[in-house]
């Protein structure tokens, strides 16, 4: 009998990598350098998961559009100075390894650039476990369904066979737009109340609970 899901797609920042706080701080630092109002922690966290230019434009609405490249440059300066010091959530590596060992297809759909994701995959040691990846500078940004649709097409999977795991409403809306089930995690960028508003099939406050649910779910016979 087929398993409930054959393809698990993870967001990266705030879902596998404990980076939401660092990203928000870098957005705030960039705003200070550019002389525009610094977004609150909540506002900075809300844009995590979007493509970088879109995220910074939303976080700094007072910034003229011709200065967006400066914002991108300053954000990257701050983030790249520390990204190799960021760590996966405890249990993330072993979960991905276990899912791979169950012959599941695994993928990443992220608001990071291709260069940024490549650095992160190399640093984390997880690169060999993922069968497909999509980044915001290669296709439409979340919550457009393109990332999931392209991953499913590449791997020969249907929406019914696919599960999206993410820490933002952008992830959950992307899944909804693609007709894919989604799981929310509240230990990343967006609060649990916002995630539950998008009606995921489950939402977890701890990585250990996500781990237990996923492994049980994919081992269950339909």
Residues noted as catalytic: 11, 13
| Pick from 188, 24, 190, 11: nearest CA to 117 | 11
SS3 144: coil
8-state DSSP, 140: P
Report the half-sphere exposure of 96 (CA within 13 A, side-chain side): 25
Please, which residues have CB within 8 angstroms of residue 135's CB and are 6 or more apart in sequence? 110, 111, 112, 113, 114, 116, 117
Number of H helices, E strands in the chain: 10, 6
Exposure class string for 178-187: b at 16+ Cβ within 10 A, else e = bebbbbbbbb
């Amino acid at each position: 009998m087929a398993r409930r899901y054959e393809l698990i797609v993870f967001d990266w920042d705030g879902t596998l990598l404990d980076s939401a706080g660092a990203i928000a701080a870098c957005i705030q630092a960039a705003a200070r350098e550019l002389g525009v109002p610094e977004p609150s922690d909540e506002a900075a966290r809300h844009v995590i998961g979007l493509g970088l230019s879109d995220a910074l434009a939303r976080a700094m609405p007072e910034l003229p559009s011709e200065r967006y490249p400066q914002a991108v440059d300053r954000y990257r300066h701050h983030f790249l100075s520390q990204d190799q010091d960021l760590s996966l959530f405890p249990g993330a590596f072993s979960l991905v390894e276990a899912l791979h060992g169950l012959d599941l297809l695994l993928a990443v759909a992220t608001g990071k650039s291709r260069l940024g994701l490549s650095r992160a995959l190399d640093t984390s040691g997880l690169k060999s476990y993922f069968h497909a990846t999509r980044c915001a500078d290669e296709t439409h940004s979340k919550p457009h369904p393109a990332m999931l649709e392209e991953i499913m097409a590449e791997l020969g999977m249907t929406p019914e066979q696919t599960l999206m795991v993410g820490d933002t409403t952008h992830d959950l809306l992307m899944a909804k737009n693609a007709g894919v089930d989604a799981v929310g995690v509240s230990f990343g960028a967006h609060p649990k109340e916002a995630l539950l508003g998008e009606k995921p099939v489950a939402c977890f406050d701890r990585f250990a609970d996500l781990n237990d649910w996923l492994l049980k779910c994919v081992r269950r016979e339909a």
